[in-house]
Structure formats: structure tokens, C-alpha cells
Amino acid sequence: MKKNPKLICKNVWKLFGNNPKDFLLKHNNNPSDDTIKKEGYIQAIRDASVEVFENEILVIMGLSGSGKSTLVRCMSRLVEPTIGEIFFEDINMGEISKKELIEIRRHKMGMVFQHFALFPHRTVIENIAFPLEVQGIGRNEREKSAMEIIELVGLEGRENYFPKELSGGQQQRVGIGRSLAVKPELWFLDEPFSALDPLIRKEMQNEFLRIQSALKKTIIFITHDFDEAIRLADRIIIMNEGKIVQIGSPEDLIMKPADEYVKEFTEDLPRERLLSVKSIMTKDQNSKYDVTVYENEKVFKIVEKVLTNGIVRVIDNNNKTVGSIDKETVSRFLYN
């Protein structure tokens, strides 16, 4: 993956309360948690820095109230950060005018909301065409684009329904469709599937992956469901009380949790299904065992092989030897 940052947050803070800017200044832009609480402020985001790379799916996770939504809203400038800078494609979002911001939103950003936020007085097609409508695109043209989107999200035949005539899953399809109408480059999704029941959620996740494989957007996705995060994420951000605790790939988080909080998050996961051989093997280019496994295979698939053979050789996609893995390692991994 080419690492080209699409969006950069630099030391972003967001406090709620009276005149938080002065408060931060008074405390050298670095007040302690206790000071913040004592003076009656709410710390939604504390000193968050992150780079979002082009075409990656970045998932933000954390408990309720940990500041996920606020962080994303700072990125889209629905919420003004108290201090800190945000760059979108080298544009400093804090310095642009209202007009420029509207232009960016009209062409480069899309957002999906937890509770769908559909306009109840508009039909499916009118909802999806709405972002085009506010740009002043004529009815025929915008409805043609909207129809394409409707096909993309699988709602053919329902374009003239009103939101309340749709099921939850279908409603969120509309929400997704609407956010894609302007063909955004940066796509925000704030717990898009949390309000759906598990089966539909799974279906929608697949749908989402299908759409992403076709469109290749830069995605920032909030969830507090770790399974969902693992399924979708290239990288995961873990947040706690407004702080970014760790940024890393799913495997990083499981293998090298930054603190107890992250560990707790990952503890009950079926690790053998999530981690690949690569992350637990012993690196050793010279091992000579006959039985081989691929480094990208998930651990649970190779358990049997290792247990029957005692030790196996690990190879990469080009059949080059990269390491070995033995019985003890596997059992320690499975049962610790």
C-alpha cells in the first residue's frame, strides 16, 4: 500500500464548556484530566494526532463517550476543534472560509449516520439525490446519477418509497447511497450498522466491503463492535476518555496491546481466527522442515498440521521460506 496521507490531525483537542480556548491557554495547552474535570469542562478529545492514508479503511473504536464521534466531527468540521490543526489534502481545514468548506463537502466528503438521519419527507430517490440537489444540479441529471447509486446499494424498485416504508437495513442502504451520491473521496461512517440486528449487520458489512472494493475510498469508520472492526479494518484506532491509546493493525492490537484497556478490548476475541501465522512464527530463513504453511493463513487453519508434525516451515506467497512454527508456540498461543 502506498502511504499517502489524505487527512492529518495534529494535536487536536476538543473541550466542552465555557470558553475552553482560554482555559487551555491558561494551562499551557496541557491541563491534567483532574483540572479539566474540576473546572467543569468535558474532555471529548485530548491531544489526538493521526494520519489517514489514501484508500485505507481506518476504524475508530472505544467505549461509549470516548470521543469517537467528536473526533470524526472535528475531521469533517461539523465540530470546531478547540485547538489543533486538521489538513485535508494539504488544505488547512481551520483556515478555509465557509464557502470553501461547503465546496469540499459538496464534492469530497460523505457521511453515514448511526440513526440513518433520512429526511422523512423525501422519497428514497429524493434522499439520495439531495446532495446533488443542493449543488444545483437539474432534476433529470441528478435522478439519473441517483438511480445508479440506488442500483449500487441494491434498492432497485424502491426509489419512490418513503423512509418509513423501509426496514432498518434498507434505510441504512439509503443513508449509504446518499453519502455516496457526490462520489466522495473521504467517507465517514459513524456506527452505521449499530442500530441493525446481527444478521442484517453481517449482510450490510459484506455489502459495504463489496462497495468499497468497487469504489476504493478513504474511509473512517466508527464502531464499538470489535468483530466488525476486525472484519473491515486496515488499521484501528482505540480511544479512551478522549485520548488515542493505540493505532495499529488488528494484529498489532492483539499481539502488542499498548495498555490494559486495549488488552481488555481484545481479550475475548477468537485470536486463532484473527491472527495469521506470520504474527506468531519464529523468524528463521533457514529452517528445513518438510511440511509447509503459508504465512498469511490464519492460525486456526494450521493448528492440526502443527500438532501432528511437531514443527512446520512457514513460506510466503512466493514459496520463499520465512520462518518456522512449533507445537509449544501454538499451544501457548491458544491457551494462555
Partner 1 sequence: MISNIQNNKKITFFLLFIITFILYFYGKEIASYFDAKWIIKYPKHYIFPISKYTSLFVKWLMDEATFGIFSFRDLTRFIAWLIQQPYNLILALISKGFLQGQGQDAVEILPPLSWISVITIIVSMALYTKDKILVALVAFAFFYLVIFGQWESSMVTLSSIIIAVPVGVIIGLILGILSYKSEILERIISPILDLMQTVPVFAYLVPILVMFGFGPVSALIATIIYSMPPMVRTTLLALKSIDPQIKECGLMSGCTERQLLWKVLVPVSKPTLMVGVNQVIMLSLNMVIIASMIGAGGLGYDVLASLRRLNIGVGFETGVAIVVLAIALDRLSQAFVNIPARKRKKNISFFKKNFNIITLFIFIIVIYLLSPFLPLIKNFPENLVFNTSLFWEELVKYININYYDNLESFKVTLLTYFMLPIKRFFLGIPWPWFITILTITGWYFGKLRLAFLCLVLSLFIVVTGLWEKAMITLYLCGSSVLIASMIGIPLGVWAGVNARANKALTVFIDTLQTLPSFVYLIPVVMLFRVGDFTAMLAVILYALAPAVRYTAHGIKNINNQIVEAALICGCSPRQLLFKIKLPLALPEILLGINQTIMLALSMLVITALVGTRDLGQEVYIALTKADIGRGLVSGLCVAFISIIADRIIKSGSNKLKDKYGMI
Ligand X SMILES: Nc1ncnc2c1ncn2[C@@H]1O[C@H](COP(=O)(O)OP(=O)(O)OP(=O)(O)O)[C@@H](O)[C@H]1O
Interface residues with partner 1 (CB under 8 A) are 73, 76, 78, 102-103, 105-107, 109-111, 113-117, 119-123, 130-131, 133-135, 160, 162, 178-179, 182, 188
State the binding partner of 224 from partner 1, Mg ion, ligand X, none, CB within 5 to 8 A by kind: ligand X
Q: Tell me which of 5, 29, 42, 327 binds ligand X, using CB under 6 A.
A: 42
Q: Tell me which of 2, 22, 34, 64 binds ligand X, using CB under 6 A.
A: 64
> Is 69 one of the binding residues for Mg ion (CB under 5 A)?
yes
The mark string for 218-257 relative to ligand X (x by CB under 6 A, - otherwise) is: ------x---------------------------------
166-225 residues in contact with ligand X (CB under 6 A) are 224
Q: What is the 3-state secondary structure (H, E, C) of the chain?
A: CCCCEEEEEEEEEEEECCCHHHHHHHCCCCCCHHHHHHCCCEEEEEEEEEEEECCCEEEEEECCCCCHHHHHHHHCCCCCCCEEEEEECCEECCCCCHHHHHHHHHHCEEEECCCCCCCCCCCHHHHHHHHHHHCCCCHHHHHHHHHHHHHHCCCCCCCCCCHHHCCHHHHHHHHHHHHHCCCCCEEEEECCCCCCCHHHHHHHHHHHHHHHHHHCCEEEEECCCHHHHHHHCCEEEEEECCEEEEEECHHHHHHCCCCHHHHHHHHCCCHHHHCEHHHCCEECCCCCCCCEEECCCEHHHHHHHHHHHCEEEEECCCCCEEEEEEHHHHHHHHHC
> Is 70 one of the binding residues for ligand X (CB under 6 A)?
yes
State the binding partner of 119 from ligand X, partner 1, Mg ion, none, CB within 5 to 8 A by kind: partner 1
> Is 69 one of the binding residues for ligand X (CB under 6 A)?
yes
Residue nearest to Mg ion (CB): 69
> Is 20 one of the binding residues for ligand X (CB under 6 A)?
no
Shortest distance, position 21 Cβ to partner 1, whole Å: 19
State the binding partner of 65 from partner 1, ligand X, Mg ion, none, CB within 5 to 8 A by kind: ligand X
> Is 67 one of the binding residues for ligand X (CB under 6 A)?
yes
Residues that bind ligand X (CB under 6 A): 16, 42, 44, 62, 64-70, 224
